[in-house]
Structure 1
Amino acid sequence: MPLTIKVNEETFTPRQQAVLTAALDLLVENGDGLTMTAVARRASCSKETLYKWFGDRDGLLTATVQWQAAKVRMPQVDRSHLSAKALRLSMEQFARDLLTVIIGDVSVTLNRTAITHAAQEKDRLGLIVLENGPMGIRRRLKPILEAGKDARLLRFANSEDAYRTFFGLVVRDVQIRLLLGDSTLTQSNIEANIEADVKAATDQFFTLYGVEATHNRE
């Protein structure tokens, strides 16, 4: 099974972070050509060091995907004194990080490569990306949604459904259009509208699940 651990900036040493960044750069440049030898050469380290740190190529790929997904930070909230404002700000931060990450060349290339590998049953990259990318990101936000429910700021029957709704409101069709090479969708245009898109998605989510909004609909 793919390795799954809680990842943040402290999970990897600065030297390991540099290696993983080199691996991500190679993925963007070569897509399918990520090898232990290439990463060792780009990062100016030995293959023995890579094997010691990551185990094998799958372990390196797992850590690389986790490092990329960790750029979508887990919101920090005080569960015992959670306010509607703090909850909204934490969700806006999550949405901002999510959009910023998925529109980047690294994520687009990584997802395209993983989809190709999964279709060809070439290796485990597809499963590694699924478990440590989208699933890992999901695990960062669901506790915040549940904290909002416990604080009686949100109302929903299932946190998974609530997460999927928020994810859909934030991402919309942006990711699939990027993956399919929509030339009318440019990174600069998306970046210019991120703040407006983040606010709109969060407002829509609270209209659907905010306690005050649901009371008004009853």
Structure 2
Amino acid sequence: MARLAGQIDLAKSEAILDAAAAVFGERGLAASMEEIARRASVSKQTIYNHYGSKPELIRALVARRVSEITAPLMEPSAAERPEEALTAFGRFMIAAVENPRGLSMLRMAVESAADQPDVARAFFEAGPATSRRRLADFLRMETQAGRLAIDDPELAAEFFASMVIGSRQLGNLLGARRDLSEAQIEAIALEATRRFLRAYAA
């Protein structure tokens, strides 16, 4: 059965993002659009047609990952299950900072900050800034529903993220990586969530 045009565009976009994640992870900002195009089996012009520039490609790549991380907060029933939603979100956050490819992308953004600030800015805005904003929106909604009592959702979102990630992200960036089991990740996310919910109980 033939695919519709929209399906073809989506398939191409996913192929480009998958290829970009792999190539950026291997080569950093030195990665060429030609290599990404080759890996994705598309033309370089197709990449520019979809994304316009390397910073916008990075923005789209990071935005896709953030959508995966924040998905538990976006589900229709999440508001009625804050502990479950926040634990799942925390679990995804930890997995993200433990992921070698994600760390490569973060290193790339840090290294680009001085001489390619547009790339670093795109990474930050699509990544950490967006994930914290979505968490703050969730916490604001929980407060309005009377399930939590939070005066400053943005600050509370930063607190929760810090509780979950702790020093792991920095340690991993510096090469002091310690692999966590799924059970350890779950335990950290759940403990952080329960302490957070007690601190902000209505």
Q: TM-score, normalised by structure 2?
A: 0.88
CA distance change for structure 1 residues 147 and 78 in 2, over 3 Å: closer, same or farther? farther
Match of 2:17 among 3, 15, 20: 20
Flag structure 2 segments of 5+ consecutive residues without an equivalent: 1-6
Question: Quick one: which amino acid aligns to residue 125 of structure 1?
Answer: V
Structure 1 partner of 2:4: none
Unaligned runs of 5+ residues in structure 1 are: 1-9, 212-218
The corresponding residue for 1:165 is: 159
- Assess if the C-alpha contact under 8 Å between 1:77 and 1:90 holds in 2: no
* Secondary structure in structure 1 of the residue aligned to 2:68: coil
Q: Which amino acid aligns with 2:178?
A: T
**Paired positions, count:** 193
Q: Give the letter for the 1:200 counterpart.
A: E
1:115 aligns with 2:142: no
Deviation digits for residues 28-76 of structure 1 (CA, Å, limit 9, x no counterpart): 1112322211110111100111111111222212212212222213312
Q: How far apart are 1:142 and its partner, in Å? A: 1.6
Task: Output the CA distance in 2 between the equivalents of 1:209 and 1:123.
Answer: 37
Matched, 1:196 2:192: no
Task: Using the TM superposition, give the Cα deviation of residue 121 of structure 1 relative to its aligned residue in structure 2, in angstroms.
Answer: 2.2
What is the match of residue 30 of structure 1?
A: 27
- The aligned residue for residue 216 of structure 1 is none
Contact 1:35 1:57 in 2 (8 A): no
Structure 1 CA distance, aligned partners of 2:147 and 2:117? 44
Where does structure 1 differ by over 4 angstroms across 4 or more consecutive aligned residues?
Answer: none
Equivalent in 33, 39, 42 of residue 42 of structure 1: 39
Structure 2 contact 56–122 (Cα < 8 Å) conserved = no
Greater helix share, structure number: 2
1:119-198 → structure 2 map (5 Å cutoff):
120-182=114-176, 185-187=177-179, 189-198=180-189
Instruction: State the AA in 2 paired with 1:99.
Output: I
SS of aligned partner of 1:70: helix
2-side partners of 1:200 and 1:78: how far apart? Answer: 22
1:78 Cα deviation (Å)? Answer: 4.5
- The answer (yes or no) to whether the contact 1:40–1:50 under 8 Å persists in 2 is yes
What's the % identity of the aligned pairs? 27
Q: Deviations over 1:61-119 (max 9, x none)?
A: 2212212222213312458xx43xx111111111111111221112111111111111x
* RMSD of equivalent CA atoms: 1.9
Hey, what's the Cα distance between the residues in 1 that align with 2:11 and 2:191?
36
- Are 2:83 and 1:92 aligned? no
